Structure formats: structure tokens, C-alpha cells
Amino acid sequence: MADAAAPAMRMTGISKRFGAVAANADVDLSVAAGTVHGIVGENGAGKSTLMSILYGFYQADSGQIEVFGKPASIRNADEAIALGIGMVHQHFMLVDTLSALENVMLGAEPDWLLQRADAQVRRKLTELMMSTGLQIQLDRLVADLPVGDRQRLEILKALYRGARILILDEPTAVLTPQEATQLFDVLKRLREQGTTLILITHKLKEVMALCDTVTVMRAGQVVEHVPIAAASVEGLAQAMVGRRVNIGRVADPVNVAGDVLLKADHLSVIDGLGVQRLENVSLTLRAGEIVGVAGVSGNGQSELIDVLTGLLSPKQGRLQLLGRTFDSPHWLDPNLARSLGLAHVPEDRHARALVMAFAAWESAALGYEDLPDYATHGWMKHRRMRQATVDMMERFDVRPRDAELVSSKFSGGNQQKLVLARELGRAPKVLLVGQPTRGVDIGAIEFIYGQLRALRQAGCAVLVVSSELDEILALSDRVLVMNQGRIAGELPIADCSEAALGLLMTGGNP
């Protein structure tokens, strides 16, 4: 019988190596039952590896695990689930072509007759939704669910399987601020009901708002373990990276915006279902400025970047880019855009910026493989590509500095830095960036901000689309706010505040 006074989980002396890399080195971690416990650290600090050991994805090279006071040998996820441990991954483990109900039932059918199983699972899920506030449409295909609903489904799936310890890996990385607030309400309710929550995150404000205790990891080791009452954002940030960091607005040298490098007029986009995604959108980007685009996700920001990069042709509109003019029947081509000096960092690095099965050096050459540096008469210079990638990794602090490592093996933050190294490394004249620091740790955020500011000072025109208002306020010279596919307002940074931008984002006036 489990010891009621014991912690929900205790890991002692956990070590794990991947070749020459020590992902975890003699880690001790104890999590009190019925609490929210934060684990923070830089990308590659060992947080996800440690939790993957607890969930049975990896086995530790050494160390012991106790669950509710009893020794546990967890060899796979099924054994973790049997012990009451659930995990919601940053990239959801759902089957798009099945309904929400079928995803929960998959592999855990309570009856051999599917009709009876369906009824039993539906009944239990309805009870769980009532008690937790995790409301979703059970018969809707996962492919049709918004991101917030997919995450709620993952949590429901874990609770359905009996999770009393729930691990959440970067749970707000793909959520809007409103969805994040809803998630926090659910997590607080789960804590009140006795569920133990382990939160892996880079967002220190969320840790301070939600957690009872926080553990800081650096280079595979625990460097700090404190109750939240004794913690501060500044102190946690310093413990994470080993030095003071600044990701707020900085006093840049006076920089007067120069010539117009990109001008878009009256852009309109209608998708395949007949839904208007952009409506009469006009904007300009000038040399030596950063323009921020704020808005709740799904209000046309993604379509705007796709149109400006040539990935999507508008129904109507006109674009002037670096001396060339394009209209809707004869729109910009992405390859031409790149040759003119436009670089693009997509908001979804997995779907659009990297080939996850490629080695780092192959991903680092994507889109540029026909340049003279990399190819002669169609023959690619692989050795040159590898060396260029090593140089990029050094300049942009990509870890580990292994050009042969498969792209999927890098942490999210280091994947992002690899993409930035590729796109920023050739001194673009215009840079369009979607969600520049999504899933990125605080040390990498500081680095990325520095790179974007340096480009601005060098005369580049930078457009930054972000759902993080802190980020928009830290980087921008002026801010455009999008709502329902339109520009709802434009403000110089001196007139910007979270309240003013929030009002424009929801259709009000600042």
C-alpha cells in the first residue's frame, strides 16, 4: 500500500547519457503530492529527458524511482500509465483522422464490442469533462479541432487512463493567451482535486503564477530547488543560464527608419472553403525598423506572412518588394523572393522550416542549395555545406555543435536557432519572422532578440508576428494589430501597452 505521507514521485541519482552527451547527471527530484511543480532550464538542460525517464520513454543508466512511496521500475509508457503517470507532450500524440472519442479509446478499449466500448468511454469522458472543465466535442475529427481543444483532449486522455501524476511539456507553447488562461484554470482545478502536476516550461511568469515549487536544471543537473514564495523571475532566469539576462526592451542607438523596402496594398485572401482570411490589408516596411504584428492566433497573421513571402497568392492586392512590383495574377515566387534578399523564418519550424529526418547540415542548406557556395552546375558541395553549418552553429550557439546530428534530435530552441542561422546568416534586406521564440528558453530568447536588433541596426526591414505581447513590446518600433483578417490599428511603440493592444486584438479601441 502506498505511503500517504510520501511524495507523489521521487527520483534519486538519475543519470542518462546519449553517446558523449550527459543529458542527466546524478539528478535528485522530489515532487509533493497534490501540488504543481515547475521544472525550468535552458533548451538541452535535461528537463524533458528526465521526465521521459519517469514516463518510460527512456531508461536511466543509473538511479532509482519511487511512485507514491513505492519503488518503481518503469520500462515503457504502459508501465508508467499503470502506475498513474500521464504525459502531455509538446507535440501532440493524436491521430488526425480519428474523432476525439476514438483517440481516447484507441489502445484502451474497455469492451471487445466497439458499440459498448463507445458508450462506456463516452460516459466516463462526460463525467471527466464535467468535473474538470475540459470541454471538447467528442465526435469531431481531431484534424478539425483547434490547438487548444487538442491539448484538452490530451489531458482528458491521460486522466481517462487514471493519471494521478500529470506531466505537461511546454503546455502553452502553441496556445493563445486566452487558451493559456483557460488551461491554467483547468490545472488549478485538477490540483484542488488531488492531481499532481509537473510543468516543464520556459515561461517563468507562468511558473510564478501557477506553481507551488520550482526546480531549475542546467547542463543536466539540478542547480536550484525552491518554493515559489522564495523565487523570482530574475533569480530563476539567472539560475537557468548562469548569468543575468535581459529580454525586456533595451535602449537601442537612435535609428531613423529609411527607405520603404516592402509595401503591400489592399491584400485579400479567401481560402478554399470560401472564408475570407485577409481583407484589404495594407502595410509598409522600412529599412532599419522592426514592425510587430500582434493578434490572437487565427486572425490572418499566418496568411499575411504566406502572401508576403510568395507562398500564397492573394485574390487581390499589390506588392512592391525591393524594386519589383507584383499583382494578384502574377504574384511573387518564393525563390525569386529569396534571390531579391527576402528571408523567412516560418512560425511552424517542423512543418515548414526543417526536414526532421535530415542531418543538421542538410536542413541548414534548405532553400539555398543552388547558391554558388553550395553547388556548381547542379553538383552540390556537401563538404562546403557541412563546414558552413559548423560555422553557423558556432555563431548562433546551436547545441550540440554536430552538423551530422539528425534535425529531430535537437531541442526545440536549438532547432529554432538553426533555422535563424540559415535565414539571418546571409544579411537579408527584408526579414519576415513568425513566432520567433516559440518553445525557446530564456537564454535563447535573449540571443534571438539581439540578432533581430542587430539586423535592424544594419538596415534590414524586419516584420515580427508573435502571439506574445511581451515580445512585441520588447522588439517593435511600431505595432500593427490584426483582428478578423484586417488591420485593426497601428500604434508607435511609445503608445503601446498590453491593455491598448489587447483592446485592439478584441475589436475595441485603445
pLDDT in tens, 15-38: 999 888 889 999 999 999 999 999
How many residues does this entry show for the chain?
510
Average model confidence (pLDDT) for the chain? 90
CB within 8 A of 212, min separation 6: which ones? 32, 35, 36, 37, 227, 228
Sort strands 324-327 and 316-321 into parallel, antiparallel or unpaired: antiparallel
Report the pLDDT value the prediction gives residue 4, as an integer from 0 to 100: 54
Residue 84 has pLDDT above 90, yes or no: yes
Q: Which three cell numbers stand for residue 275?
A: 472564408
Report the pLDDT value the prediction gives residue 15, as an integer from 0 to 100: 96
Least confident range of 291-295, 321-325, 465-469, 486-490: 465-469
For the entire predicted model, the pTM comes to 0.74
Q: Which three cell numbers stand for residue 118?
A: 463507445
Separation of CA 463 from chain center: 19
Q: Give the pLDDT band (50/70/90) at residue 121.
A: confident
Q: Give the pLDDT band (50/70/90) at residue 217.
A: very high
* CB atoms closer than 10 angstroms to residue 327: 13
Average pLDDT over residues 388-397: 93
Considering the chain, tell me which residue range(s) the CATH 3.40.50.300 domain(s) occupy. Answer: 9-241, 260-341+428-505
Report the pLDDT value the prediction gives residue 1, as an integer from 0 to 100: 41
Q: Give the pLDDT band (50/70/90) at residue 470.
A: confident
Coil vs helix vs strand at 265: strand
- Label residue 314 left, alpha or beta by phi (over 0 means left) and psi (-120 to 50 means alpha): beta
Residue 91 has pLDDT above 80, yes or no: no
Q: Which three cell numbers stand for residue 384?
A: 562546403
Q: Give the pLDDT band (50/70/90) at residue 469.
A: confident
Cα–Cα distance, 501 to 494 (Å, whole number): 12
Report the pLDDT value the prediction gives residue 323, as an integer from 0 to 100: 92
At position 477, the amino acid (one-letter code) is: D
Average pLDDT over residues 62-76: 95
Cα–Cα distance, 442 to 241 (Å, whole number): 8
pLDDT in tens, 364-378: 999 999 888 898 888
Q: Which three cell numbers stand for residue 109?
A: 478499449
Q: Give the pLDDT band (50/70/90) at residue 253.
A: low
Report the pLDDT value the prediction gives residue 254, as an integer from 0 to 100: 54
Least confident range of 163-172, 226-235, 436-445: 436-445
Q: Between 106 and 360, whose confidence is greater? A: 360
Task: Write the CATH number of the domain with boundaries 260-341+428-505.
Answer: 3.40.50.300
Residue 461 has pLDDT above 60, yes or no: yes
CB within 8 A of 286, min separation 6: which ones? 257, 258, 259, 260, 261, 461
In words, the CATH class of domain 9-241 is: alpha beta
Residue 179 has pLDDT above 80, yes or no: no
Q: Which three cell numbers stand for residue 489?
A: 490599428
